[in-house]
Structure 1
Amino acid sequence: MYRLLSRSLCRDFWRAAGRCRVCPAHLLPGPAAGRAPEVAMPPARVAPPGRSSGLLPLLAGLAWFSRPAAAEEEEEEQRQGAGAAAAEGAADETEAEIILLLKRAKLSIMKDEPEEAELILHDALRLAYQSNNKKAITYTYDLMANLAFIRGQLENAEKLFKATMSYLLGGGMQQEDNAIIEISLKLASIYAAQNRHDFALAGYEFCISTLEEKIEREKEIAEDILSVEEKANTHLLLGMCLDAYARYLLLSKHPSQAQRMYEKALHISEEILGETHPQTIVLMSDLATSLDAQGHSDEACAYVQRASDLARQTEHPELHMVLSNLAAILMHRERYAQAKEIYQEALKQAELKRDEVSIQHIREELAELSRKTRPLT
């Protein structure tokens, strides 16, 4: 009867993860060793069919494409001469063109134009290979993987994420890097969606244990070596992993284990993002769901009531779903009149958002509530 809130509100958690992402060794192909990984590229200029309403946040920035320092450029020109300078100028033009294509692709994704985004990314990847720009290749694979994930093309997303991993690991990135952990998490989510449970569990547990050990080691590192922001980003990434694992456990009918993960994720979110942050409110509501699934309705009601109060105060973008969870828990407690009132409020909010899935769900719940309260004849 209750619903887990959508993951579109995890953007701050995803943002914490850095540039690109990777996975535990037993889930990975071998490093690329300077050549293209063994992954089938989709045909150029052909966008595969199929869409998915699920959203993953996109990667931040284009900082992969760092420019050489002026002194290094000057030294290179002196060593290689005018011919090298001309070649470098051509490489700069190609790199600028790749960056422009990637920006256009990201804009198309933001505008919900995935087919156009994929066509642009194919052009970017072709240029990246032609210029042997390994950073551009890696970044483009990562964007293509995220796009495939968004569209529900999980097999293609898995291959593309592994291609990204192969380049990153081949370039010397360590498995505890936040970028590697984030791709591990995305792969675990893919495996969970495909019911490949052994791989999913291995992925989630790798992410969480690696981050917990990393956080413990970083406690004593001075701020001039590792900034407060970098430490906070690692904590947020751990929160994101705990949240994703909790969702998986709850959907797999392990509510008590899910509860423990949600409690840890909520603590991180409250500490770093604050109680009124949208993600904190989502976690309160989902924690309530895990408690209600165990029959702890009083405790569940306290959490979801707090979540709904904060959602109203902050005009939460998923207020209707928080209210729907509150109404479901009230109905489980047989507080039918109050549940009906909250469902009706949730329905109005869902209609304002034009969320057809939620509208249908809430109407079904109201119909069920009506059957429960219908007098016996």
Structure 2
Amino acid sequence: MRFNYSHVVRIATLASRKSWSPRKLLLPLRAVPKGTTVTIGLFSLFSTPIGKQEEILEEMVKRGILEYQKGDAIKAEKLLHVALKTAQDLHDKNGITFIYDLMANIAFDTHNYRKAEKIFRDLIGRLIGDGVDPDHNKIVHVSAKLASIYGMLEENEKAEQGFQFCIDTMNKKIAKGASDEDTLLLTGLCLDWYARYLMGHMKLDEASANFQKAFELCSKVHGLQHDQSLVLLNDMASVLALKGNAAAAEEKMKDVISIGEKIQSEHMPAFYVNLGSIYMQNKSYEKSRDACAKGVNLAKKMDNKEYIEEAETCLEELRKAMRLTH
């Protein structure tokens, strides 16, 4: 089950899908959002093509991703199963690993968490069997996904242990002098996901501290004017609102929107909805309506159904709140 976040604040979890990780072997959790463009660069993960079969394999994976983007998870899984068999026949280890990761991400996205758990556990076993060190970034990345899954399943002890393993492992690397982009961003990703888990359990001070650490790492690599930096600021504003500090939350969200407009962030609908929710918390209903309506209009321009749904939900909750005051 999903965490029961407060309806007062819209958390832009959708925005975190694809912004964090530059790693070319494993994709971030929910990193194949519907509607995004599949690029050829995505398939440089496979071993260097040596013949027709490799081309067929690449094409099957492309088709699987495209079917998922169109909303047909069942057809996508069938295509990926065929692709997996082909990769196994070709002994293409990178291809096998990549397809496993895609299948697990699809299982997670369709709320089949047990299936996703099994695939990710198998994936860790495969990586270790191939000689990958247990503290390698690849293993940590999959472990962070598993921790998130355990959080969704409310297996909290496993979730805590998983997140602590990931964060401790990455902090040790940084303490030893690791400063490459991959390591810094993976550390930020682990902190971000752990903060979301903590926020879902209303451990707001801890969540805020972890979001802050994630933000510092992200802005160190990407700078402030970057989508993921803004998403983290958005989430920090959400924590402030949940703690009852609506004035500070409002100011932070205004900063997010100001920067987001400059860089034409794809997450502007979610940012406006969050601002509208904060206004609603303050009983500034006219401002809330304007912000949520702006979110709806932007989401429709982007043809983003998930953001449209969030924005329309915000307006519906606003109407209910206004009726209660009369």
TM-score normalised by length of structure 1: 0.73
Aligned counterpart in structure 1 of residue 146 of structure 2, from 172, 182, 187 = 187
Q: Is the 8 A contact 2:204 2:243 kept in 1?
A: yes
Greater Cα shift, 94-103 or 173-182: 94-103
Aligned counterpart in structure 1 of residue 216 of structure 2, from 260, 263, 267 = 267
Q: Is the 8 A contact 1:336 1:373 kept in 2?
A: no
Aligned counterpart in structure 1 of residue 74 of structure 2, from 112, 115, 121 = 115
Counterpart CA distance in 1 for 2:32 and 2:174 is 24
**Structure 1 residue 159, shift from structure 2 partner:** 1.2
| 1:167-316 → structure 2 map (5 Å cutoff) | 167-219=126-178, 231-316=180-265
Going from structure 1 to structure 2, the CA distance change for 1:333 and 1:173 (only over 3 Å counts) comes to: same
Counterpart CA distance in 1 for 2:97 and 2:285 is 54
Going from structure 1 to structure 2, the CA distance change for 1:135 and 1:363 (only over 3 Å counts) comes to: closer
| Backbone CA RMSD of aligned residues | 2.7
Give the aligned partner of residue 367 of structure 1.
Answer: 319
Give the aligned partner of residue 19 of structure 1.
Answer: 25
Q: Is the 8 A contact 2:273 2:295 kept in 1?
A: yes
Counterpart CA distance in 2 for 1:121 and 1:337 is 49
**Structure 1 residue 243, shift from structure 2 partner:** 1.2
**Structure 1 residue 184, shift from structure 2 partner:** 0.7
Q: Does residue 7 of structure 1 match 2:8?
A: no
Unaligned segments of structure 1, at least 5 residues: 22-53, 68-88, 220-227
Q: Is the 8 A contact 1:165 1:180 kept in 2?
A: yes
Going from structure 1 to structure 2, the CA distance change for 1:298 and 1:178 (only over 3 Å counts) comes to: same
Counterpart CA distance in 2 for 1:351 and 1:373 is 30
Going from structure 1 to structure 2, the CA distance change for 1:142 and 1:340 (only over 3 Å counts) comes to: closer
- Number of residues paired by the alignment? 308
Bigger RCO (CA 8 Å, 6+ sep): 1
Q: Is the 8 A contact 1:340 1:369 kept in 2?
A: no
Give the aligned partner of residue 45 of structure 2.
Answer: 63
Cα deviation digits, residues 251-308 of structure 1 (max 9, x gap): 1111111111111111222222222212111111110110121122332222111012
| 1:126-165 → structure 2 map (5 Å cutoff) | 126-165=85-124
The one-letter amino acid paired with 1:207 is: C
Q: Secondary structure at the match of 2:141?
A: helix
Q: Is the 8 A contact 1:292 1:300 kept in 2?
A: yes
Q: Is the 8 A contact 1:289 1:300 kept in 2?
A: yes
Greater Cα shift, 350-359 or 151-160: 350-359
Going from structure 1 to structure 2, the CA distance change for 1:344 and 1:144 (only over 3 Å counts) comes to: closer
Going from structure 1 to structure 2, the CA distance change for 1:93 and 1:323 (only over 3 Å counts) comes to: closer
The one-letter amino acid paired with 1:63 is: L
Unaligned segments of structure 2, at least 5 residues: 1-7, 34-40
**Percentage identity across paired residues of the two chains:** 27
